[in-house]
């Protein structure tokens, strides 16, 4: 289960993400700029972050996901991210 809470900040939004399964939970802080949200075709930062975590969790364990990052960092690790998230 992925839970996302969003707070606006000067550059866009700060999203706190909790990823929980029946064994444990992890917490992550994700920054989303207004430019990145637009560029990735989103209108809701919580939805973008939730879909981004679904993408990440299909590729790696929740414990392997960085604890704090900008949403734009995902494409550096997974070149197929942007195409997948836009579709």
pTM: 0.94
**Residue 67 pLDDT:** 98
Q: What are phi and psi of 50, to 5 degrees?
A: -60, -45
For the chain, which residues make up each domain, given as ranges? 2-86
**Residue 52 pLDDT:** 98
Q: Which pLDDT tens digits describe the chain residue by residue (87 residues)?
A: 999 999 999 999 999 999 999 999 999 999 999 999 999 988 999 999 999 999 999 999 999 999 999 999 999 999 999 999 998
Identify the three-state secondary structure at position 80. coil
Q: Which tokens in the block code for residue 7?
A: 């707070």
**Residue 37 pLDDT:** 96
Measure the CA–CA gap between 65 and 73, rounded to whole angstroms.
11
Phi and psi based region of residue 42 (left: phi greater than 0; alpha: psi -120 to 50; beta: remaining): beta
**Residue 87 pLDDT:** 81
């Amino acid at each position: 289960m992925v839970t996302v809470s969003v707070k606006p900040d000067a550059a866009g939004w700060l999203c706190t993400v909790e990823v929980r399964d029946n064994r444990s939970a992890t917490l992550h802080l994700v920054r989303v700029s207004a430019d990145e949200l637009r560029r990735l075709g989103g209108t809701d930062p919580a939805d973008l972050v939730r879909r981004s975590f679904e993408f990440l969790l299909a590729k790696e364990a929740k414990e392997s996901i960085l604890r704090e990052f900008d949403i734009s960092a995902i494409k550096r690790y997974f070149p197929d991210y942007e195409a997948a998230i836009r579709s």
